[in-house]
Amino acid sequence: MTDIDLLLRTINEDLGDSSSWSAPVEFRDSLALCALNSAYSLNGSSAAAKNVIARYRAFRPTADTDSGPDLMKAMDSAGGPAEFAINILRNERPLARSNRLRPEGIYEGLSRLAALDSAVTTTEHLRTAVAEGSTATKRAWLSVKGFGPLAWSYLIMNAGVATETKPDVMIQRYLARALGENDKLGPERTRQVLQLAAAKLSVEPRALDRAIWQYESPSK
């Protein structure tokens, strides 16, 4: 039995039929919600991210179609990113390796995306940039202190890039166990294995990613 056969058997035993899996989190028409979910999902629970999204929706009736600049304007109207975090989102958890609140990083990231030669201000722009292999777009988001590779993966998955995965520690741990390996697989091998398994199962890689994440962390 090959590694992929072993993995597929374990996935079937653990996760069941793929038709029963939850749909991937997606905010296809709102770069604002993608950015918020991306930042608040880093080193945090899904409950915290959901609360942030709910509070932004309560503050902005147009949240589900808000662009990046719309979110920046909303922050400005609240007195700036820090005040927005405190008074609107009511979440003051800082970014990793930084004393800045998460909306401060989001504001910087969205500003950098909008300043690109091919300005990225909507989810449609973002999907196009990814499809065209734009490294400048990825670099712009990752240039924010506290935004690592997972922040980019979350952002584009939420925007509707179905082929993306987020090879975080939880996913690596599951795959290592399924394959009978003692060490974590590492981000790149994790991504490759997930994409291969997803292709065999005829599902989106991000759908398999989410199913594994929910299995490993049912309380989140």
pLDDT tens for 9-58 read 999 999 999 999 989 999 999 999 999 999 999 886 678 899 999 999 99
Number of C-alpha atoms within 13 angstroms, CB side, residue 89?
28
Cα–Cα dist 93/44, whole Å? 9
CB neighbour list of residue 217: distance below 8 Å, 6 or more residues apart:
170
Whether 108 and 72 map to the same domain: the answer is yes
pTM of the model: 0.90
Whether 47 and 131 map to the same domain: the answer is yes
Residue 173 belongs to domain spanning: 3-24+165-216
Whether 199 and 123 map to the same domain: the answer is no
Whether 44 and 124 map to the same domain: the answer is yes
More confident residue, 26 or 96: 26
Whether 181 and 93 map to the same domain: the answer is no
End position of a domain, from candidates 142, 158, 174: 158
Q: Which of 72, 158, 77, 82 is nearest to 121 (CA)?
A: 72
pLDDT average, residue stretch 125-131: 98
pLDDT at residue 39 in the model: 95
Whether 40 and 145 map to the same domain: the answer is yes
219 pLDDT exceeds 80? no
Whether 36 and 138 map to the same domain: the answer is yes
DSSP string, 8-65: HHHHHHHH--GGGSPPPP--TT-HHHHHHHHHHHTTS-HHHHHHHHHHHHHH-TTGGG
Whether 20 and 107 map to the same domain: the answer is no
3-state helix, strand, coil in the chain (%, to 5): 65, 0, 35
Whether 37 and 55 map to the same domain: the answer is yes
What is the DSSP-derived secondary structure letter of residue 133? T
Whether 14 and 101 map to the same domain: the answer is no
Number of domains in the chain: 2
More confident residue, 3 or 198: 198
Whether 101 and 150 map to the same domain: the answer is yes
